[in-house]
């Protein structure tokens, strides 16, 4: 097995024992994602066995109720897991309090200090599993009541913030300025009297195994690296499909819509990894420089900016976007979006969006990147589909295009669709594949949950898979103009049935931007996890008879 030199974590990380404080501990995010991720790290010994976890929220709960809340979504596969959970719960405690009251955060501080004295903890990780409306009040209270200088008190402090990071460019910048006054973006100055707690903006898609694998697929394989450009690639699709609707949370979703909820963050982050140039190294800042902006200090010590991949993308225009909103299922069993009583009457908020972006640089000029995402669709999946240009010449006719497909979830896989000779005496061409399905190739490996991976990165001081402020700024510049157009009601969403493939016109939309479906039938191999998941859904499929 070959090795690569990975970035060193910040000084002192290996010797610090953490106390993890989950703010918003009574909410769905903490219950469904944060606590199960912390348990996974604890079970697999990535958390020190003396790491204490403190929940903080407005809801009043006794210890028994809190433990039930923490463990509700933790999956236990063995009797050993049950015993581990009991040890984990003994390290968890709860403190209730308001988000804007100093006295409550002072009570929290007393509890943290008690835990630190008992455990010997010398570092704090605050996880803000909170709605954006309380980000700044909570951050201000933390700075005032719970922050300690590293040099003076020897306590390292880090803060994880969940999306959404604003609603548009202006609100994102406002949030950034207010958080920036309280927390540092860069951790390089530790230890320092002037270094405040460091902020980690989390986008959990950056912690997914196949998204993290993009760097290795691209930059550790000559066969991919040499064709990863406009000379070979015709178009790229990045697709997010979810089977469920808003499930009674439509009022909350209606404030954001599918573009702010999924496309502007998750899908754009994937795009940046697909399209970025090779970084100088795997250090956090080198990787994030290539995705967003690079801060370079010139001879006069004032910052200048080197434009990177997101800065080459102009704002989305009205002609390059298609919106949809789901209605009732065809059988009438599933309600439509507007049937949700929490959704404002007559709302035009999209639950489906397809948008085409262009990257005006030498590598990608003219190549459309199509981002598609939606709720209440026919299946759940996230995938990257890279379609290559037609084979030049006329030696063979009726050929389908080569494709590289990276299945992010579920059933992680990488497969290459290619032309092959049909076995036999003739010279007929058929579509075949090189299929790397993780469930069969790595059947003894456990793929960690994205939140486990990212929380561990934060504990280790690794910013590589978190969103930097200038990267966020560049992202909002791409989407803010079209979001204003949508918010003003200037684009009507096309209705589609719950459980369908999406609104009419999606096929024509991707075809307009170059995507071509092959005329040849494609037979998925029976062993293929990717094939079983996609069969009958996104490709024309002929099933072999038994």
Judge contact between 256 and 250, C-beta under 8 A.
Answer: no
As a 3-state breakdown, the chain gives helix, strand, coil percent values, each rounded to 5, of: 35, 20, 45
Distance CA 190, CA 185 (A): 12
What are residue 519's DSSP bridge partners? none
Q: What angle in degrees, to the nearest 10, is found between the helix axes of 469-487 and 169-180?
A: 150
Q: For the chain, state the CA radius of gyration.
A: 25
Q: Which of 19, 22, 71, 75 is nearest to 48 (CA)?
A: 19
Question: What distance in Å separates the CA atoms of residue 32 and residue 46, rounded to the nearest whole number?
Answer: 20
CA torsion through residues 333, 334, 340, 343, sign = negative
E strand or H helix at 295, and its extent?
A: strand 293-297
In Å, what is the CA distance from 275 to each residue of 41, 264, 293, 363, 512? Answer: 32, 16, 14, 8, 21
H, E, C per residue of 138-172: HHHHHHHHCCCCHHHHCCEEEEEEECCCCCCHHHH
Token representation of residue 481 = 């103009």
Residue for token pair 């991976």: 453
Active-site residue identified among 69, 266, 463, 513: 266
DSSP secondary structure of 478-543? HHHHHHHHHHTT-SPPEEEETTBS-STTHHHHHHHTT----SS-B---TT-HHHHHHTTTTS-B-P
Count the residues in the chain: 546
Q: Known catalytic residue: 266?
A: yes
Q: Which of 258, 134, 128, 254 is nearest to 202 (CA)?
A: 128
Give the C-alpha separation, 237 to 510, whole Å: 9
- At 289, list the tokens: 């420089």
Q: What residues act catalytically?
A: 266
């Amino acid at each position: 097995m070959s090795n690569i030199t990975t970035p060193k974590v910040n000084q002192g990380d290996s010797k610090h024992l953490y106390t993890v404080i989950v703010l918003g501990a009574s909410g769905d995010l903490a219950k469904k994602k944060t606590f199960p991720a912390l348990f996974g790290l604890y079970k697999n010994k990535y958390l020190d066995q003396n790491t204490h976890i403190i929940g903080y929220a407005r809801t009043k709960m006794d210890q028994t109720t809190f433990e039930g809340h923490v463990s509700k979504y933790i999956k236990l596969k063995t009797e050993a897991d049950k015993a581990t959970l009991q040890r984990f719960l003994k390290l968890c405690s709860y403190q209730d309090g308001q988000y804007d009251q100093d006295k409550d955060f002072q009570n929290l501080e007393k509890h943290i200090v008690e835990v630190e004295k008992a455990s010997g903890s010398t570092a704090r990780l605050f996880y803000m599993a909170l709605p954006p409306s309380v980000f700044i009040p909570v951050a201000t209270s933390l700075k005032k009541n719970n922050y300690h200088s590293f040099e003076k008190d020897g306590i390292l402090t880090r803060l994880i913030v969940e999306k959404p990071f604003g609603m548009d460019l202006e609100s994102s910048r406002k949030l950034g300025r207010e958080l920036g006054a309280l927390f540092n973006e860069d951790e390089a100055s530790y230890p320092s009297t002037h270094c405040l707690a460091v902020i980690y903006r989390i986008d959990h898609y950056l912690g997914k195994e196949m998204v993290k694998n993009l760097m290795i697929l691209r930059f550790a394989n000559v066969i991919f690296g040499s064709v990863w450009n406009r000379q070979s690639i015709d178009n790229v699709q990045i697709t997010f499909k979810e089977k469920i609707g808003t499930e009674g949370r439509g009022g909350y979703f209606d404030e954001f819509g599918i573009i702010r909820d999924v496309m502007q963050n998750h899908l754009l982050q994937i795009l940046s990894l697909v399209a970025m140039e090779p970084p100088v190294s795997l250090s956090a800042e080198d990787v994030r420089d290539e995705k967003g902006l690079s801060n370079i200090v010139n001879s006069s010590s004032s910052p200048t900016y080197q434009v990177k991949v997101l800065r080459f993308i102009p704002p989305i225009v009205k002609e390059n976007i298609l919106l949809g909103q789901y209605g009732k299922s065809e059988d009438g069993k599933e309600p439509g979006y507007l049937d949700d009583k929490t959704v404002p009457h007559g709302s035009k908020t999209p639950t489906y969006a397809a948008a085409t972006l262009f990257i005006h640089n030498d590598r990608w000029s003219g190549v459309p990147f199509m981002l598609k995402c939606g709720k209440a669709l026919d299946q759940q999946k996230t995938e990257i589909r890279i379609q290559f240009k037609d084979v030049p010449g006329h030696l063979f006719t009726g050929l389908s295009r080569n494709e590289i497909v990276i299945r992010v979830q579920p059933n992680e896989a990488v497969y290459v669709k290619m032309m092959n000779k049909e076995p036999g005496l003739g010279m007929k061409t058929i579509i075949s594949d090189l299929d790397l399905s993780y469930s069969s190739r790595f059947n003894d490996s456990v793929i960690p949950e994205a939140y486990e991976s990212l929380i561990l990165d934060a504990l280790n001081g690794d910013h590589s898979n978190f969103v930097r402020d200038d990267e966020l700024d560049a992202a909002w510049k791409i989407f803010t103009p079209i979001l204003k157009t949508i918010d003003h009601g200037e684009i009507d969403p096309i209705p589609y049935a719950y459980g369908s493939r999406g609104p009419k016109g999606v096929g024509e939309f991707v075809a307009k931007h170059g995507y071509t479906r092959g005329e040849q039938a494609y037979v998925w191999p029976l062993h293929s996890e990717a094939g079983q998941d996609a069969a009958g859904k996104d490709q024309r499929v002929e099933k072999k008879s038994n």
